[in-house]
Structure 1
Amino acid sequence: MANVEYQNSFILILICLFSTFYFFFVYFFKKPKNVFDLPPSPPSLPIIGHLHLFFSTSIHKSFQKISSKYGSFLHLRIFSLPFVLVSSPSVVYEIFKDHDKNVSSRGAVGFDECIVFGSSGFTISPYGDYWKYIKKLIFTTTLGPQALERSRGVRGVEAERFYRNLVDKAMKKESVEMGEEALRFVNNSLGGMSMGRCFTEENNESKLSKFTVEFASLILKIFLAQMLRSPLEKIGISPFKKEVMDASNRFEELLEGIIVKYEEKVDEHEGAEIMDKLLAASRGENAEYKITRKNVKAIFAELFFGAGDTSSTTTQWAMAELINNPKIFERLREEIDSVVGKKRLIQETDLPKLPYLRAVIKESLRLHPPGVLLPRQFEQGCKVGGFYIRKGTTLIINAYAMMRDPAYWRDPDEFKPERFLGQEEEKRENILKFLPFGVGRRACPGSNLANILIGTAVGVMVQFFD
């Protein structure tokens, strides 16, 4: 009897070993269809493929190094999951010229419940009715040209407040943290545009700014969770979830409190069109698309995080580059003085008359893009650059590498705003080489607002910097 039990146990062990081997073989070693038509691939490790390349504090720089060595259009693999890494402006042009709708999805969500970049938000949501409805609503109420014109007075008030804060610190001989001051200006502007007076009255700016900074430190982990979700779910692992969800829950609690107080004083918030329409849609009041209260909070979370972090970080980089390049700083100050004068504060209506300021901002975005990697997903198989890309393949565009490519940018690592004045860079057709806010139908809808906020913040600092 013992011998029989031993034999049964041995057979069971063999079955388990065989099953394990078969699982690894099927999921990690099976060859994809059209393997000979795939883009070239750098050497990979057994089982994990190119996974080790993702675990870096600067993934975009690691990818840039790989592309420099093996090519600007590469096929990567994490376990059995395919990725395509692109850092070629001509290939990106082809993708979005011929396959924009095919790559309109951003792929898997890292953490469904997360208030930022989760399944309830706008940024990562699939291309469909919900995404189209929210984009239309945001554009018509907040980010479109007419909406921006309606809210110009709100941003003017915040620019004055921004200036007074800087002067107050200077009078007290206190140091100025440019990133913090810019973030305060951006968040107050967004809050006033979307929620009216109650935003500043409740001192919400400082609370939201803390979460903007916290989520900026978590963005790499959220990106990794998004990229690795499918293979890790198979083995029951969800890295970083506790840390991310702890921040998410606290952020959601803050937003819920802000919305509740807004609802208590709803008659006092003239101009807060987006909040009113989102809340009405969540209650099902004559809405084109029914949304939930969590959708409302997620949209505002992504609005504050996306616009706040992007605009404040770019402002900080622009000022750092200007301080390190005093001749460029002086040229910019001379332009502002000639247009604005020295007796009043720069205004939004001045920005179109300041080409060198716009060039400084563009050059800052080129060297320090807010979105260094742009992830998408191929919904259908297709041909790109003569290679076959399978359905479900993740597309990663290395915007950082593209905007520092010496084949397309003269002296790519130098801060030279003049290149955007049309004096140095040749105009090339059939390429996309400058994409700090993404590209295609899933490009950042807030790029116009970001340029206004960054231009105003940098302009005010340059006017009164000593």
Structure 2
Amino acid sequence: MEMIVISLCLTTLLAFLFLKSFHKKNTTTKLNPPPSPWRLPVIGNLHQLSLHPHRSFYSLSLRYGPLMLFHFGRVPTLVVSSADAALEVLKTNDIKFSNRPKTKMVDKLLNGGRDLAFAPYGEYWRQVKSLCALHLLSKKTIQSFECVRKQEINVMMDTLEKASSSSSSSTVNLSQLLTTLTNDVITTAVLGRKYSSEEGGNNSNNLVRRFNELLGAFPLGEFIPVLAWIDRIRGLDKKVEKVNDEIDVFLEKVVQEHEDHSDEEMSAFVDILLSTQKDKTTQFELDRKGLKILLVELLFAGAATTFTLMEWTMTELLRHPECMKKLRDEIRSVSTHDLYVTEKEVKEMNYLNMVIKEVLRLHPSGPLIPRELREDVKVNGYDIAAGTRVLINIYAIQRDTATWGADAGEFKPERHLNSLLDFEGQNFKYLPFGSGRRRCPGDGLAMALVEVALANLVKRFDLRFKLGPIGDDKPDLAEATGLDVCRKFPLIVSPFSALSST
């Protein structure tokens, strides 16, 4: 009898396991994943990535479609390359795609994502966003720094003026000037003063670029853990440690300065953060590490996005002298004096707005918007599993010939004439600052500087490009690597006064 009972139990168990396996297999076969490019064992699709992933994804999307599922080692990644698919991700299912991926670089450089851009979706992120929106990114606060923008732009103008009057062969590194301008304006707003004039201050510009390059890096060990030793051999871990140490030393000095003068009137965002940290009546807890991580993002990520936009704008204008002339004519028609172009005057310059829109279309500072799926979802008929990383390829969406025409890859500011497109992210064919809950909230801070700086630069100087590395008479379009894609080579120009010809 016992043998019969045991046999029945074993038979039942085996039948259960078989049915469970069959059910699981049957359920799996019903799923409809997005198309995937052919992949290799272990490394998956890593071999199909170039130094510029947004370009690789764009080329592959022309073959596999607007939704592609890649496997980078052990990490499944969905790449979105059309406006319709982006709408499904960033609007219809925004809450499900509201997390940021937890990457090794975010963990090392931003303490696991305790900043505004990469913090997990939840209460901490909402508190940080509210704090930044109220005390740094509001229209009132941005307007209050108008005099700072004017002062630092005039410093840049003086440098160019000296170069233009010295000799006809004098050249300047315009990329460096734009980086310094951006850093000085942002550090004044966030930290209360600029630091570029101090000993070692000039290294801060280089630090910004290295930080963003590392934040956008692809550590091999993250995707294939057994190959993590390669990251150590190629020096990636040491680079991260070095940048972290330099940033921490700098910010610790800054925070200590403000703590030592806490009895004085609060004038910078760091003072607001220190006040919030001491306030025990709020549920928002901000420790010293979190405070410095937040400053890192505002200082480095914010600065990179802003100067990258100005750098690409001047690149395209130098490549298209007819556009430069048209813009200069507009600026002079609005600002009829030989003095500083004001921010009030800038608001009347429609062609300037079109130029900036077109640059952001062709050269979005962050061409890939990273997200991570919180739960299973169906997008355009395809099944996507929870935990899948997602990259919205803004570069591909804003060059889609179905939307922008056969000349989508060409620089034509006139295409934005009478266009209702803006930077709010509500039209999913144009998303330079993203869309949805995780849209970049700093566009107002960036645009306030970009518009007035470009207007003054174009009005006052005729910039002539110095021959590039391949001997071309126009600036090249080679891109650097990193989270924010700036020029690979600095923009070297010879400045000549443009006011004498008026």
Task: Give the one of 389, 413, 416 matched to 2:412.
Answer: 416
Contact conserved, 1:232 with 1:238, CA < 8 A, in 2?
no
Q: Distance in 2 between matches of 1:119 and 1:430?
A: 26
Equivalent position of 1:332 in the other structure: 327
Secondary structure, counterpart of 2:369 in structure 1: strand
Distance 1:404 1:307, change over 3 A: same
Distance 1:206 1:161, change over 3 A: same
Q: Distance in 2 between matches of 1:194 and 1:260?
A: 15
Matched AA of 1:175: T
Q: Distance in 2 between matches of 1:31 and 1:280?
A: 58
Equivalent position of 1:232 in the other structure: 224
Which ranges in structure 2 are unaligned for 5 or more consecutive residues? Answer: 1-24, 463-502
Distance 1:430 1:243, change over 3 A: closer
Task: Give the one of 108, 114, 119 matched to 1:120.
Answer: 114
Does residue 344 of structure 2 align to residue 349 of structure 1? yes
Contact conserved, 1:133 with 1:288, CA < 8 A, in 2?
no
Secondary structure, counterpart of 1:448 in structure 2: helix
Secondary structure, counterpart of 2:401 in structure 1: coil
Deviation at 1:287?
A: 4.0
Deviation at 1:232?
A: 3.4
Distance 1:443 1:327, change over 3 A: same
Equivalent position of 2:442 in the other structure: 446
Distance 1:423 1:139, change over 3 A: closer
Under a length normalisation based on structure 2, what TM-score does the superposition of the two structures give? 0.79
- Counterparts of residues 51-450 of structure 1 (less than 5 Å): 51-54=46-49, 56-111=50-105, 114-116=108-110, 118-173=112-167, 174-197=170-193, 199=195, 202=198, 206-221=202-217, 224-225=218-219, 229=222, 231-233=223-225, 239=231, 240-267=236-263, 270-272=266-268, 274-410=269-405, 411-422=407-418, 432-450=428-446
Deviation at 1:127?
A: 0.8
Contact conserved, 1:42 with 1:76, CA < 8 A, in 2?
yes
Distance 1:193 1:423, change over 3 A: closer
Task: Give the one of 449, 457, 460 matched to 2:456.
Answer: 460
Q: Distance in 1 between matches of 2:99 and 2:448?
A: 28
Deviation at 1:118?
A: 4.3
RMSD, matched Cα: 2.7
Deviation at 1:363?
A: 0.8
Deviation at 1:152?
A: 2.2
More helix by share: 1
Matched AA of 2:440: C
1:256-290 deviations in Å (ceiling 9; x for gaps): 11222233344556521x21121123344544411
Which ranges in structure 1 are unaligned for 5 or more consecutive residues? Answer: 1-29
Contact conserved, 1:49 with 1:78, CA < 8 A, in 2?
yes
Distance 1:235 1:42, change over 3 A: closer
Equivalent position of 2:497 in the other structure: none
Secondary structure, counterpart of 1:85 in structure 2: strand
Deviation at 1:312?
A: 1.0
| The 10-residue stretch of structure 1 (385-394 or 260-269) with the greater mean CA deviation from structure 2 | 260-269
Contact conserved, 1:87 with 1:401, CA < 8 A, in 2?
yes
Distance 1:79 1:343, change over 3 A: closer
Provide the identity percentage. 31
Deviation at 1:233?
A: 4.1
1:32-91 deviations in Å (ceiling 9; x for gaps): 94664111122121233212223x211111111111111111122234432211101111
| The 10-residue stretch of structure 1 (282-291 or 232-241) with the greater mean CA deviation from structure 2 | 232-241
Contact conserved, 1:187 with 1:205, CA < 8 A, in 2?
no
Contact conserved, 1:90 with 1:431, CA < 8 A, in 2?
no
Q: Distance in 1 between matches of 2:260 and 2:230?
A: 39
Q: Distance in 2 between matches of 1:219 and 1:115?
A: 7
Equivalent position of 2:8 in the other structure: none
Q: Distance in 1 between matches of 2:137 and 2:426?
A: 28
Deviation at 1:242?
A: 2.3
Contact conserved, 1:41 with 1:76, CA < 8 A, in 2?
yes
Instruction: Report how many aligned residue pairs link the two structures.
Output: 428
Matched AA of 1:395: V
Distance 1:246 1:300, change over 3 A: same
Secondary structure, counterpart of 2:400 in structure 1: coil
1:278-325 deviations in Å (ceiling 9; x for gaps): 112334454441111121211111112112111111111111111111
Distance 1:119 1:95, change over 3 A: closer
Under a length normalisation based on structure 1, what TM-score does the superposition of the two structures give? 0.85
Q: Distance in 1 between matches of 2:430 and 2:30?
A: 32
Q: Distance in 2 between matches of 1:443 and 1:358?
A: 21
Contact conserved, 1:75 with 1:82, CA < 8 A, in 2?
yes
Matched AA of 1:220: G
1:394-416 deviations in Å (ceiling 9; x for gaps): 11111111111111113111111
Deviation at 1:203?
A: 6.3
1:344-392 deviations in Å (ceiling 9; x for gaps): 2112222221111111111111111111111101101111101111111
